[in-house]
Amino acid sequence: MNHCLTQANRRILVVDDNPAIHSDFKKILCPALGGNPGLNAAEAEIFGGRQAAPSRTVFQVDSAFQGQEGFALVQQSIAAHQPYAMVFMDVRMPPGWDGIETTTHIWGIAPDTQVVICTAYSDYSWDEMITRLGISDRLVILKKPFDNVEVVQLAHALTEKWRLGQEARLKLEEMEAMVAARTRELQAANEQLKIEMAERARTEEALRQSQKMEALGRLAGGIAHDFNNLLTVIRGYVDSLLAENHQPPDTLEALQEIDQATDRAAKLTSQILMFSRKKRLQPQVLDLNDVIAGLGKLLRRVLGENIALQFQANARPLPVYADPVMMEQVLLNLVTNARDAMPQGGRLTIDAREVEIGEAQARSNPQSRLGSFACIRVTDTGNGIAPAALPHLFDPFFTTKEPGKGTGLGLASVQGIVEQHGGWIEVENEPGRGARFSFFIPVSTAKPGLTAEAWPKVTTPGGTETILLVEDEPVVHRLAHKILQRLGYQVFDASTGQEALSIWNEHAAKIDLLLTDMVMPGDLSGRKLAQTLQAQNNRLKVIYTTGYSAEALNLECPLEEGLNFIPKPYTPENLVHTVRRCLDETSARPPTVASTADI
Ligand SMILES: Nc1ncnc2c1ncn2[C@@H]1O[C@H](COP(=O)(O)OP(=O)(O)OP(=O)(O)O)[C@@H](O)[C@H]1O
Ligand SMILES: [Mg+2]
């Protein structure tokens, strides 16, 4: 709407078939064209001295002699953005439209136009006019013959009314625009709020899940720790019995069965430790492409003949700082699940890619983080996952498989491992068509480190040195003592840190190696004991053992499996090799692998 319209609009159209009427109107309304002194005086009287001639208001008056002609002029005025504020309309104008019909047409295109119907007594009755035009505040009836002053008064009043109407409409439009803008703002704020609330709900859910997992992890980790002590003993005695010659065949077979069952039990506790994030990482810089390619044969065997395996490697190397055995474990678990989801056969695709996680993606998944990640996707064409099962997939012991077929630890340990490596897992699912598990591990820029395999092999595990053996679990203690003694070592036994201290006080000069459990009753932990003893003899060698992971115990000293650390359950071979290696170790040790905090 043009703002100039709200300024005074003095445009008036007179529609009348009688030419004399037009000159009358012009004389009355356009005094500049030869005004009437009597009228000037009357107007001055009505509108005050300011309006007195010769400064009387001048209206711009146009003439039309037919209804259609009047309508055409109104059309032109609108097109030129100079609309008429009012029309003086004669009623009878034969031939063609009469005044009423013309008014209807004009209101059709310019509804605000103020119309004064000029009518004689013989024309339509008021009722007839109202029936045709309806009751309207835009309509005034002026009876002929009219009074000049009345005409001037109407011209003033109705042009002003038109102006005020336009102004009010403009204000209304402005207000409506403001309301619309504010509504849009509120809608946008509302959308944002919804997004934030959904994000918050996701984060809270992730937090609840991680708290649940942590509690379960602590419980399971504790159980696994006790189990490992027992397994160490079973394994130890079975191994030493197997090593003895002349066992009757029946006994030998039974011992082999026990040995295999022990292996399976050890694998199970190892899985439990993985999901409880209490398994020690032995990370090194790996190319994940190589890890997957290297597993190809094994995976094909797992999948069987009915399932086609496709591997799409990343075009460039995908270096990550990770434990290779654990990465294989993750892939094996995912591939085994995919196989079980495709009993009738199908296709399994593994692809490796490097992805850059940006703000938007990080926001949509609270577990994800910004940066470069190796993303491995395992996609199957199997049954997919039932919606009801989705929230529980990663819960330990959640399985939909028959008893004996699944323990429900696969995905829990996959999640434990991936998170221990600073990554996360995402699941996509199409029931009936397949599932995709993607895991993300940070891309590494670290240098490769040395692993236990790089150490020289031990040739003669026995020795004559003196070992202080500290272990609170009597069965494990007896086993370790037996093994070491049999190989020629002299062994002092203690079941607590305090006991070890008193032995040390008496025999310090003889003791070459401290072999101690990390977690023991009393306030002297294995680590504290070692520190105390090494403060007195810095040549004392130390080996730690535990059923927990070294990280879980928060140690600041670097531990290297096979050198100064033996995770339980251990085999006699493990024990004697580590002891020998540690005793033979000179100050030139292999470089320490970086701690997990560097990932
Ligand atoms: N690719 C998949 N397609 C369909 N369902 C799957 C897939 N992967 C996992 N699942 C579902 O998730 C459940 C849990 O998997 P998880 O690997 O933790 O345990 P499991 O395979 O049942 O037992 P386990 O791995 O310990 O032998 C499975 O029982 C199965 O219902
Ligand atoms: Mg599984």
304 dihedral zone (left: phi>0; alpha: psi -120 to 50; beta): left
Provide the CA 282 distance to its chain's centre, in angstroms. Answer: 31
Q: How many Å lie between the centroid of ligand 1 and the Cα of residue 378?
A: 13
pLDDT tens digits, 391-431: 899 888 899 998 878 888 899 889 988 988 889 999 999 99
Question: Does the predicted model carry a pTM greater than 0.75?
Answer: no
Query: Which two structure tokens, joined as six digits, stand for 136?
Result: 């309207």
Check whether residue 573 and residue 519 sit in a common domain. yes
Residue having the nearest C-alpha atom to atom 8 of ligand 1: 337
Where among 241, 275, 309 does a domain terminate?
275
Query: Which two structure tokens, joined as six digits, stand for 536?
Result: 């007195």
Listed in order, strand segments (DSSP E) in 488-539 are 490-494, 513-517
Nearest alpha-carbon partner for 28 in 161, 154, 118, 139:
154
276 dihedral zone (left: phi>0; alpha: psi -120 to 50; beta): alpha
In what side-by-side order are the strands of the sheet with 86-90? 60-64, 11-15, 86-90, 114-119, 139-143
Residue 554: pLDDT band with limits 50, 70, 90 = low
Query: Which two structure tokens, joined as six digits, stand for 326?
Result: 């654990």
- Residue 304's H or E segment, with its range, is none
Instruction: Round to whole Å and give the CA distance between 325 and 241.
Output: 30
Mutation probe of ligand 1 site: the residue of 340, 390, 436, 437 with most atoms within 8 A of C-beta: 340
Contact 338, 378 (CB under 8 A): yes
Check whether residue 7 and residue 135 sit in a common domain. yes
List of residues 6+ apart from 526 with CB closer than 8 A: 470, 497, 516, 517, 518, 519, 520, 544, 546
68 inside domain: yes
The ligand with the least distance to the CA atom of 394 is: 1
Read off the pLDDT of each residue in 285-309 and give the average, rounded to a whole number: 90
Ligand 1: nearest atom to the Cα of 437: 1
Mutation probe of ligand 1 site: the residue of 399, 415, 430, 433 with most atoms within 8 A of C-beta: 399
What's the half-sphere exposure (Cβ side, CA atoms, 13 Å) at 558? 13
CA quadruple 93, 95, 101, 103: dihedral sign: negative
Check whether residue 566 and residue 514 sit in a common domain. yes
User: Which domain covers residue 297, as residue numbers?
Assistant: 284-442
Residue having the nearest C-alpha atom to atom 9 of ligand 1: 337
CA separation, residue 429 to residues 252, 322, 350 (Å): 49, 27, 16
Residue 306: pLDDT band with limits 50, 70, 90 = very high
pLDDT of residue 165: 92
Ligand 1: nearest atom to the Cα of 407: 26
231 inside domain: yes
The DSSP result for 543-574, as a single string, is EEEESS-TGGGT-SS---BTTTEEESS--HHH
Read off the pLDDT of each residue in 271-290 and give the average, rounded to a whole number: 79
The ligand with the least distance to the CA atom of 341 is: 1
Q: How many Å lie between the centroid of ligand 2 and the Cα of residue 562?
A: 30
- The rounded mean pLDDT for the chain is 84
The one-character DSSP state at 26 is H
pLDDT at 129 over 90: no
Residues in contact with ligand 1 by the CB-under-6-Å rule are 333, 337-338, 341, 380, 382-385, 389, 393, 398-401, 406-412, 435
Collapsing DSSP to helix, strand or coil, 407 comes out as coil
Q: How many Å lie between the centroid of ligand 2 and the Cα of residue 411?
A: 6
The ligand with the least distance to the CA atom of 343 is: 1
Check whether residue 291 and residue 381 sit in a common domain. yes
How many domains are contained in the chain? 4
105 inside domain: yes
pLDDT tens digits, 427-470: 999 999 999 999 999 998 754 443 334 344 445 578 889 999 99
The residues facing 300 across adjacent strands are none
Burial of 466 (0-12, 13-18, 19+ CB in 10 A): middle
CA separation, residue 427 to residues 370, 389, 390, 521 (Å): 19, 12, 9, 43
Collapsing DSSP to helix, strand or coil, 593 comes out as coil
pLDDT tens digits, 160-202: 999 999 999 999 999 999 999 999 999 999 999 999 999 888 8
- Residue 335's H or E segment, with its range, is helix 324-341
Mutation probe of ligand 1 site: the residue of 274, 337, 426 with most atoms within 8 A of C-beta: 337
Residue having the nearest C-alpha atom to atom 25 of ligand 1: 410
Q: How many Å lie between the centroid of ligand 2 and the Cα of residue 327?
A: 15
Residue having the nearest C-alpha atom to atom 30 of ligand 1: 400
Residue located via tokens 């023991």: 520
Strand-pair category, 307-312 with 490-494: unpaired
Mutation probe of ligand 1 site: the residue of 213, 383, 411 with most atoms within 8 A of C-beta: 411
Query: Which two structure tokens, joined as six digits, stand for 540?
Result: 């004392």
Where among 275, 302, 326 does a domain terminate?
275
Contact 242, 256 (CB under 8 A): yes
pLDDT tens digits, 201-235: 888 887 887 787 778 777 887 888 888 888 988 98
Instruction: Round to whole Å and give the CA distance between 162 and 82.
Output: 13
CA angle, 9 as apex, 7 and 11 as ends, to 5°? 165
pLDDT of residue 379: 97
Residue having the nearest C-alpha atom to atom 7 of ligand 1: 337
Check whether residue 423 and residue 520 sit in a common domain. no
540 dihedral zone (left: phi>0; alpha: psi -120 to 50; beta): beta
For the domain that residue 267 is a member of, what is the CATH number?
1.10.287
Check whether residue 361 and residue 472 sit in a common domain. no
Where among 388, 408, 442 does a domain terminate?
442
Q: How many helices (H) and strands (E) does the chain have?
A: 15, 17
Residue located via tokens 């850059």: 356
Length of the chain: 599
Residue having the nearest C-alpha atom to atom 1 of ligand 1: 338
Burial of 452 (0-12, 13-18, 19+ CB in 10 A): middle
Alpha helices in 30-147 (DSSP H): 37-47, 67-79, 99-109, 126-133
pLDDT at 381 over 90: yes
The one-character DSSP state at 244 is S
Check whether residue 421 and residue 294 sit in a common domain. yes
pLDDT of residue 125: 78
Strand-pair category, 139-143 with 114-119: parallel
Check whether residue 13 and residue 127 sit in a common domain. yes
Instruction: Round to whole Å and give the CA distance between 544 and 547.
Output: 11
pLDDT at 489 over 70: yes
Share of the chain above pLDDT 70, in %: 86
489 inside domain: yes
Q: How many Å lie between the centroid of ligand 2 and the Cα of residue 346?
A: 18
Ligand 1: nearest atom to the Cα of 380: 1
189 inside domain: no
Residue located via tokens 């439990």: 272
The one-character DSSP state at 5 is G
pLDDT of residue 435: 97
159 inside domain: no
Nearest alpha-carbon partner for 417 in 546, 282, 550, 289:
282
The residues facing 350 across adjacent strands are 311, 378
Q: How many Å lie between the centroid of ligand 1 and the Cα of residue 570?
A: 30
Contact 464, 489 (CB under 8 A): yes
Q: How many Å lie between the centroid of ligand 1 and the Cα of residue 337?
A: 5
Instruction: Round to whole Å and give the CA distance between 590 and 560.
Output: 10
Ligand 1: nearest atom to the Cα of 400: 29
pLDDT tens digits, 502-548: 999 999 999 999 999 988 888 888 889 999 999 999 899 999 998 77
Terminal Cα-to-Cα distance of the chain (whole angstroms): 66
Burial of 553 (0-12, 13-18, 19+ CB in 10 A): middle
174 inside domain: no
Check whether residue 292 and residue 428 sit in a common domain. yes
Residue located via tokens 């529980």: 392
Q: How many Å lie between the centroid of ligand 1 and the Cα of residue 597?
A: 31
Residue located via tokens 């086609």: 308
160 inside domain: no
Collapsing DSSP to helix, strand or coil, 349 comes out as strand
For the domain that residue 381 is a member of, what is the CATH number?
3.30.565.10
Check whether residue 390 and residue 509 sit in a common domain. no
Query: Which two structure tokens, joined as six digits, stand for 151?
Result: 């005409």
Instruction: Round to whole Å and give the CA distance between 12 and 156.
Output: 11
Check whether residue 269 and residue 306 sit in a common domain. no
The ligand with the least distance to the CA atom of 409 is: 1
Q: How many Å lie between the centroid of ligand 1 and the Cα of residue 385?
A: 9
Instruction: Round to whole Å and give the CA distance between 373 and 358.
Output: 11
Residue having the nearest C-alpha atom to atom 2 of ligand 1: 338
The residues facing 60 across adjacent strands are 11
Check whether residue 494 and residue 390 sit in a common domain. no
User: Which is higher by pLDDT, 538 or 561?
Assistant: 538
